Structure 1
């Protein structure tokens, strides 16, 4: 395990402090938190909860995409050591809504260097909620695959008090995370301050091959709340973060991920017998992202980048939401409201920064988007055991193409959609029936429909088949059937979720498309096109405890077909099974994780989405990992593990393709996953 002497000293000191602290009688009854290897089965229809502070295997997550890997149906597209893109049920990008404390943060990079989950350090949040499929309308437009909520939970202090939580994580390849969260309050209000930092060196795969993947990221979060009574909370919060990251899949690295965020939340409950809750929020965030081909790697001139090139996109987003929860009688509850979002994307760049510095250039706006949504969702009790849940929303979109020219190869061409305004009114809705078979068992069936407006990466970053601009791409329409059952009784928790969807005008990204160039030549382009598709699949999870033993198992699979091209739908993950077995006492635990991933021979080379493209078939693989936990003190827990125990060389089917990086071995077709990885995490809470 590659740990610095300083890191080892810090870990040893923290461990000794925990051992030396006086033991209270509570030590004998306070159990250590279990190591999460696969998320607990759903206890509510189509909802999965994840504790981001819980110890987990593989190595505890340092960004949002990694935190979701324990949820059956999620995979992460590997780009390097950080900033992977999450994929759920074969769907990625804006099909999967990501909200941080209710706020939308859209990355700036045209090639997805900074997806929304890149700005998440999971331990800084109190809860992660996954809502599957188009079965809610409360959290923004176009979420056909589902919604992920990263949430901090405001807490009112009935009497003066304070809490402190913190964690240190150390691992192979110089992995080093620090996290601290301090909260204090009294009946009238509270304050919170949290800080995170995570770093790692380039990792090596199972064959010892170095992969350019080092990174450093940090963030700070401050919040102040006013709580004049138990029913009222007003919170003002701010976030500042930045970092840098090297990538194995492209010719540039990220040298800055500057983010500034300000948010205001107001909540008032129990207003009257019929007005249960009023909520309102507003936010503004700015992402200023810089990438270049020389700061984090050895500069090597190429035909496409003969000089020291820099690209500096940024995005400014403002938004807000207001909602009311109404009790319309004993059996009916309605949540209704509106949300709003607008974002502006700009870009400046240079082909040779020493002679033409990017910092002196004017930022040019290339696109703007605005959307206003009206929504309502109702839950009605038919009988004590039967419920109907339904919802609908109307989204009014406006997009503006502000490019006068588009980049084509080494040059530019006039933009055929320059100054084009697009307006669209899109609808989404669902109807779900839930039936309690017995006290702790619920079956459900639901039909949902979501209409998704094309995003920046589909409209602005790509061409179309017949034009150098894709700004006229049609919206996507998804209709999906969801059925399933959840069960929790005593030592057994289980869930089964199945889905089948039809997607009209699916927005497909296709690379290596031959298009005419000057002088009768041919060039290769990446285009946006609409096709019709179908998908089906599902997830099953079970957890069983017996004495100190616990077994967790899950299986997830998805099948997709491109009906227009009569071929497999691209970027669909293979069947995956996880099995975890652990034994624990109140003081210590031991556990194992086995992950089986099937071969995938259904692919569509050079087709995919804004996140990745199919590269060809993949063989299956099996990875084993082990972990242990120790309750050092009622306020301290040490967890350690070994991921990829057999040091296997493998790559995920959904992965970015390797790129040539000076000083590193020739790239592999896909970016290989890390080899054997040792790690340890110390958590404290007071």
Structure 2
């Protein structure tokens, strides 16, 4: 079984973004996590600086594993925050869950891919910002996030016996959150059966002033069953998933999630070929029924919105050695997404007598092929080059407004927009060509330079192209930016094209570990928005919001990251080290150098870490600068600088692990630079306008995990 043991059993690992190129090189050798341990050892992979506990001790959403590792998040619901890489959010990042491409089936992206997997289910998490190899995935310009829970464990006996299991629980005081998680596996040498489950229930959290941040409560559960079989050269795995979110508040949206039920099925086949080659095939389906409305007195109203989406896809990958120092990766992939978005009529209101049909039988299909070549040019130089082609088609059926009659004596803007939309040819075809070049130069045994150049593309999503409503109510239901504005689609949007240049330096010494990365991205036809109107539901100027239409323009984004770890003592009192991080990102439109929306200001972190046997401690100080470069088109708020002090302690004793943490130790009040505005607060009291969402106050957190 040694030939395929590497991909049959892996410990939890998380790759960090402090050098996106290093991770890209590692990923490019294993598009389906099939590479040998010996082969992976030859590829430099950056591990998380500092300490890390096992994944079963991390409860809650998967974002808890990715925060602080180069991934920022645009705050939304408690389990549905949208990741941000290199200043770009949402669909610009390709998020793959167990290799499957899951589409957010919601006009507000309330059910993004990462919301369908819990932290305790994740066995591997890999992130590639900017220059990602073509084998890692297409249809993105910001990078790739790959999280996986499909990691079958096998035993050593001929009969099926108990293999492993754990149960975890946690509590967070700031939101009165209860968390539960469990994993269990029975296995033989050739068969593995496992279950993974997670449950989370939270009230709305409090800020540093002790005030409730209303409409941030939620409840969620995830379940997964996996069955796998293997022999000497091949492995088959089948995974079934189910998620149920009965409610989730979205403080920065006009609507809330009132139900989200999903089911998924995945089948993966892996085969060891002659001459150390490998083949993998994967087939995926994911279906979701999603409902929006209102469920809490913290944000009231009456307006149902129902969405149904289905993702179908397959991926075929080959890894073919073509010499002692050369490897060829080839692949063919197909993705089909179907969407229906209907807003049922509310009799006796202006939202009647018809159902509002927002997206009718929408479809987005992608067919892709790629080839990637890797070569060890010498003992010092390693090179990889790849090309990927995707053909993308989008289309949708005819739509209708709530009513075709004039509204309060005024022309019915939505009825006119629906007629114009139905009369147009709505089918669009896009050709996407990605190309990447990655190089690594070994300066010495502990120093390395890395370079990357990429051309990447992303086609617009269905909501960017086909959201047709023009009235205030209809437009404010569209948009995942949390800004309180309204959005109108544009069928003539072009795909985004990004050219990225990245360079990194790494040093690994006995006491010091240092990595620094600088990157620059020029985006042609960046999907942004232009102001086409405004509205104000109050008598105060602070209540003004804009109506924007998606449009193409050119933009530039650039930034740098610096990480350093210094071990200054290792004595009888334990190992002591200091971790430092600095991250800066800028983004602006070419015309007028106007700031792009939701770009995080300068952020730094300094942490003192201590380890004595199975006892680990960390005291970290995080500082975020003033956000004064804001997007005027979206009426983005400025935010003040702030600092947070966090304390964490973990102790493992035999099979029991206990973690205690105090986040925001001094109970500081601060506003989230990427959090958007509090629509919930505005609806409760509109006299203060649209204020930025506040961050969580002091929280005492306790987790316990027992392995059996």
Distance 1:200 1:148 in 2: 26
Say whether residues 1:222 and 2:225 are aligned partners.
Answer: yes
Answer whether contact 2:464 2:489 (CA < 8 A) is retained. no
User: Is the alpha carbon distance of 1:585 and 1:347 closer, same or farther for their aligned partners in structure 2, counting shifts above 3 Å?
Assistant: same
Secondary structure of 1:143's aligned partner = coil
Distance 1:49 1:456 in 2: 37
For residues 20-67 of structure 1, the C-alpha deviation after alignment (integer angstroms, 9 at most, x for no partner) is xxxxxxxxxxxxx9999x95955971456669x95599x956223343
Distance 1:549 1:252 in 2: 48
User: Is the alpha carbon distance of 1:54 and 1:684 closer, same or farther for their aligned partners in structure 2, counting shifts above 3 Å?
Assistant: farther
Distance 1:198 1:461 in 2: 33
Answer whether contact 1:447 1:480 (CA < 8 A) is retained. yes
Question: RCO (CA 8 Å, sep 6+): is it higher in 1 or 2?
Answer: 1
Larger helix percent: 2
Secondary structure of 1:374's aligned partner = strand
Distance 1:151 1:660 in 2: 34
User: Is the alpha carbon distance of 1:665 and 1:421 closer, same or farther for their aligned partners in structure 2, counting shifts above 3 Å?
Assistant: closer
Alignment match of 1:438 (pick from 436, 444, 447): 444
Q: Which residues in structure 2 correspond to 1:545-564 (within 5 Å)? A: 545=567, 546-547=569-570, 548-564=575-591
Say whether residues 1:63 and 2:58 are aligned partners.
Answer: no
Secondary structure of 1:670's aligned partner = coil
Question: 2:152 maps to which residue?
Answer: 154
For residues 482-516 of structure 1, the C-alpha deviation after alignment (integer angstroms, 9 at most, x for no partner) is 1002233334332111101111111103456359x
Distance 1:637 1:630 in 2: 6
For residues 368-397 of structure 1, the C-alpha deviation after alignment (integer angstroms, 9 at most, x for no partner) is 100000011111010011111111100011
Question: 2:636 maps to which residue?
Answer: 615
Distance 1:116 1:656 in 2: 20
Relative to the length of structure 1, the TM-score reads 0.84
Q: Which residues in structure 2 correspond to 1:266-415 (within 5 Å)? A: 266-269=269-272, 271-273=273-275, 276-293=277-294, 295-297=295-297, 300=300, 308-352=302-346, 365-405=360-400, 413-415=417-419
Say whether residues 1:490 and 2:510 are aligned partners.
Answer: yes
Answer whether contact 1:79 1:671 (CA < 8 A) is retained. no
- How far apart are residue 161 of structure 1 and its match? 5.1
Secondary structure of 2:616's aligned partner = strand
Distance 1:562 1:468 in 2: 20
Q: Which residues in structure 2 correspond to 1:157-172 (within 5 Å)? A: 157-159=155-157, 162-172=163-173
Distance 2:74 2:545 in 1: 28
User: Is the alpha carbon distance of 1:499 and 1:40 closer, same or farther for their aligned partners in structure 2, counting shifts above 3 Å?
Assistant: closer
Say whether residues 1:543 and 2:565 are aligned partners.
Answer: yes
Answer whether contact 1:417 1:471 (CA < 8 A) is retained. no
Say whether residues 1:583 and 2:603 are aligned partners.
Answer: no
Q: Mind listing any 5+ residue stretches in structure 1 that lack a counterpart?
A: 1-32, 302-307, 516-521, 608-613
Distance 2:443 2:392 in 1: 42
Alignment match of 1:129 (pick from 111, 126, 131): 126
Identify the range of structure 1 (351-360 vs 452-461) with the bigger mean alpha-carbon deviation: 351-360
Alignment match of 1:145 (pick from 142, 146, 151): 142
Q: Which residues in structure 2 correspond to 1:12-31 (within 5 Å)? A: none
Question: 1:454 maps to which residue?
Answer: 460
For residues 494-541 of structure 1, the C-alpha deviation after alignment (integer angstroms, 9 at most, x for no partner) is 2111101111111103456359xxxxxx99522101111111112111
Q: Which residues in structure 2 correspond to 1:79-90 (within 5 Å)? A: 79-90=76-87
Question: 1:250 maps to which residue?
Answer: 253
Q: Which residues in structure 2 correspond to 1:594-609 (within 5 Å)? A: 594-607=621-634
Distance 1:256 1:511 in 2: 33
Question: 1:198 maps to which residue?
Answer: 200
Distance 2:63 2:657 in 1: 25
Alignment match of 1:527 (pick from 530, 536, 549): 549
